[in-house]
Copies of this chain bind each other. A is one copy, B any other.
Amino acid sequence: MIVILKENPNPGQLQDLTAWLKSQGVEIHTSHGQRQMILGLVGDTSRLDMDLISALDIVDEVKRVQDPYKAANRKFHPEDTVVELANGVKIGGGHFALIAGPCSVESEEQICSVALAVKAAGANILRGGAFKPRTSPYSFQGMRERGIQLLLEAKRQSGLPVVTEIMDAAQLPLFEEVDIIQVGARNMQNFELLHALGHIRKPILLKRGLANTYQELLMSAEHIMSGGNSQVMLCERGIRTFETYTRNTLDLTAIPVLHKLSHLPVVIDPSHASGRSWLVPTMGISAAATGADGLIIEVHNDPEHAWCDGPQSITPAVFQEMVPRVHAVRQALELEKEEGRA
């Protein structure tokens, strides 16, 4: 940590600061600039409160040299995390997740038929929303408990593991048989929820907030991981920009950057990012070519009559055409792990 002092600091306050820093077990290296003095702090600075030091009268600025995240940091965990589901499906470290299914669970017939269709096309995980965060209180809010039951029925019929979104820690008992719990973009900094998910032992798919940075996403993963749950997957689903043609702007640079900063798998959601079904295959293939560990795609057998997010859902037929192109770019770039994985 580097502390840049204001010009001509009060000597008494400076002495107080250095004495206090030493009492915290930190060594101080002082540099005298032309106008400003700089303190280099050496030792375990993770417990020092940057804000507190910044607030001091004599301090101009405080800069951290080390990353504020530890459990999620590749520096301390060089190998890729591979998330492994009950039925053998793996994600990360060369294993690719092809997650597909409808925005919302609507009926047993709908979710089961989509499950079988996406499985036939090559998906290895089924998605389907039961609790739906909606901007308007007058929109469909999801089938909730009943939706989870129908999703689990589709899991039984198709054999696919399932992922679905949680909106409040109080809903956790309903997620017993769910394979991956999704945290939505709007809840990325719902810290009470993250803490609750840190105390279970189930994979979490953590979506990046619409206006959040890579570091904030990693800090939210850290909130989960600091509770002991290390099975976290990061999901980029589009960020808010000034562009209005698409719903959000997909940030594919997140893939190599998150892979460098962290060992956690990175999954891309081109459906929510673009909000337009015709863009989904192109951007899904693009994400695969950029090194994503998985895709999560909205597929609906009848997008024109979907209860929500219809405009961004593709049909099983379009999904089926997309899958071989995803594999083709992965093979062309030699991103494929040896054959034989679920």
Contacts and interface: CB of A to CB of B under 8 A. Distances in A.
Interface of A: 2, 4, 29-36, 38, 40-44, 46-47, 49, 51-52, 54-57, 63, 65-66, 68, 131, 133-141, 167-170, 186-187, 189-193, 195, 210-216, 219, 222-223, 226, 239-246, 249-253, 255-257, 260, 273-274, 278-279, 282-283, 285-286, 288-291, 303-311, 313, 325, 328-329, 331-333
Q: Which of A29, A52, A303 has the most CB of B within 10 A?
A: A52
A242 B245 contact: no
B242 A211 contact: yes
A192 B168 contact: yes
A177 B214 CA distance: 39
Nearest to A286: B290
A306 B55 contact: yes
A255 to B, nearest CB: 8
A338 to B, nearest CB: 19
Copies of the protein in its oligomer: 4
Given A138-B46, A241-B239, A310 B168 contact: no
Contacts of A210: 211
Given A51-B310, A168-B193, A257-B279, 17 more contacts: A31-B40, A33-B41, A34-B43, A49-B308, A51-B308, A51-B309, A133-B189, A134-B191, A136-B219, A136-B222, A168-B192, A170-B170, A211-B240, A239-B249, A282-B290, A328-B333, A329-B332
A125 to B, nearest CB: 23
A2 B40 CA distance: 10
Contacts of A186: 189-191
Given A38-B40, A190-B190, A213-B242, A289 B286 contact: yes
A68 B226 CA distance: 40
A140 B310 contact: no
A59 to B, nearest CB: 9
Contacts of A211: 210-211, 240, 242
A133 B209 CA distance: 15
Contacts of A251: 241, 243, 249-250
Nearest to A61: B65
A332 to B, nearest CB: 4
Q: Which of A33, A187, A246 has its CB near the most chain B CB atoms (within 10 A)?
A: A33
Contact of A36 (B65, B134, B242, B250): B65
A145 to B, nearest CB: 13
A305 B43 CA distance: 22
A168 B31 CA distance: 45
Contact of A2 (B2, B195, B282): B2
Contacts of A223: 137
Nearest to A17: B304
